[in-house]
């Protein structure tokens, strides 16, 4: 037992990466659900409350028609992925700082600290979909063939999130102010993205510029499952381009700052 036991089939770097990523993601979820009594309910309560508020404001208080009927389904189709985006990006601001001790003692590839946040928030997003289904059934919204595009939306959003995370996470280590700036930017982005409204509701001319927001295209994909009219291929194309550019930029920033980050934390 003391001899150098031959390691059972050695890890390939990829398998090792996947293994660590999965361990950390499971840890995240387990910690979250083992420390709160309501557990899963929390991850859907937040979007539900928000959806309730906007539904009330825009269908009961104001009569101005934005979006499509049933409005609650229209809202949730973008709100749930927004929760994924919002949660992952704001967690990424602390990706290195919170795990400093672990990062200082293990040499697993450092992109994991961002990717596992994207993954665990993504799993929560998938887990919140039954809520959407419930509302869709109760309001009688019907699913079109466009729902098959769902994996494309998830793929684009993952690319976007990893890109943004790799930019935000290292920079916050050096500029702590950025954490607050990101919170502010997220709040702005909430209203600047087609969540409570659709791309088509924007005034003439603005729609073109809104397409540069990668979330526009991504949400239009999710929405098209129930509302075929929301699918905007121009926005989808733009969001693919912007997401890939951000991913490239993120990888560049990450690799250039890695050694400095390790010294700093």
Site for other proteins in 28-57 (CB under 8 A): 30-31, 34-35
CB-based contact 217:239 (threshold 8 Å): yes
The yes or no reply on residue 256 touching other proteins (CB under 8 A) is yes
Alpha-carbon span 243 to 161, nearest angstrom: 8
Pick the stretch among 83-91, 159-167, 240-248, 251-259 that binds other proteins (CB under 8 A): 251-259
Dihedral sign computed on CA atoms, order 200, 205, 211, 215: negative
The yes or no reply on residue 106 touching other proteins (CB under 8 A) is yes
Shortest separation between residue 178's beta carbon and other proteins, angstroms: 12
Shortest separation between residue 174's beta carbon and other proteins, angstroms: 6
The yes or no reply on residue 212 touching other proteins (CB under 8 A) is no
Figure out which of the listed residues 18, 23, 130, 233 binds other proteins, where binding follows CB under 8 A: 23
- Is the Cβ of residue 68 or residue 124 nearer to other proteins in the bound state? 124
The yes or no reply on residue 12 touching other proteins (CB under 8 A) is no
Pick the stretch among 75-83, 106-114, 128-136, 207-215 that binds other proteins (CB under 8 A): 106-114
Shortest separation between residue 46's beta carbon and other proteins, angstroms: 21
Alpha-carbon span 151 to 138, nearest angstrom: 24
Q: Which residues contact 130 (CB under 8 A, 6 or more apart)?
A: none
The count of other CB atoms within 10 Å of the CB of residue 240 is: 18
Q: Quickly list H helices, the chain.
A: 13-34, 40-55, 71-92, 95-98, 100-105, 112-139, 150-174, 178-192, 206-210, 214-224, 233-264
């Amino acid at each position: 037992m003391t001899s150098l036991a031959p390691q059972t089939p050695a890890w390939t770097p990829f398998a090792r990466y996947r293994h660590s990523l999965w361990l950390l993601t499971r840890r995240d979820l387990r910690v979250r659900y083992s420390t709160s009594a309501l557990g899963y309910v929390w991850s859907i309560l937040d979007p539900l409350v928000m959806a309730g508020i906007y539904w009330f404001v825009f269908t009961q208080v104001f009569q101005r028609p934005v979006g499509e009927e049933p409005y609650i389904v229209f809202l949730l189709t973008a709100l749930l992925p927004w929760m994924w985006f919002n949660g992952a990006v704001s967690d990424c601001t602390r990706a290195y700082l919170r795990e400093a001790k672990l990062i200082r003692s293990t040499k697993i590839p450092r992109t994991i600290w961002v990717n596992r946040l994207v993954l665990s928030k993504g799993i929560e997003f998938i887990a919140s979909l039954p809520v959407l289904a419930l509302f869709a059934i109760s309001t009688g919204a019907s699913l079109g063939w466009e729902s098959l595009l769902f994996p494309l939306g998830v793929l684009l959003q993952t690319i976007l999130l990893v890109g943004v995370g790799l930019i935000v996470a290292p920079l916050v280590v050096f500029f702590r102010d950025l954490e607050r700036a990101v919170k502010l930017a997220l709040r702005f982005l909430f209203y600047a993205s087609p969540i409570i409204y659709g791309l088509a509701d924007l005034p003439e001319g603005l729609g073109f510029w809104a397409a540069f927001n990668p979330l526009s295209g991504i949400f239009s994909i999710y929405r098209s499952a129930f509302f075929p009219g929301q699918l905007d291929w121009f926005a989808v194309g733009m969001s693919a381009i912007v997401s890939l550019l951000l991913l490239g930029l993120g990888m560049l920033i990450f690799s250039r700052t890695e050694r400095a980050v390790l010294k700093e934390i």
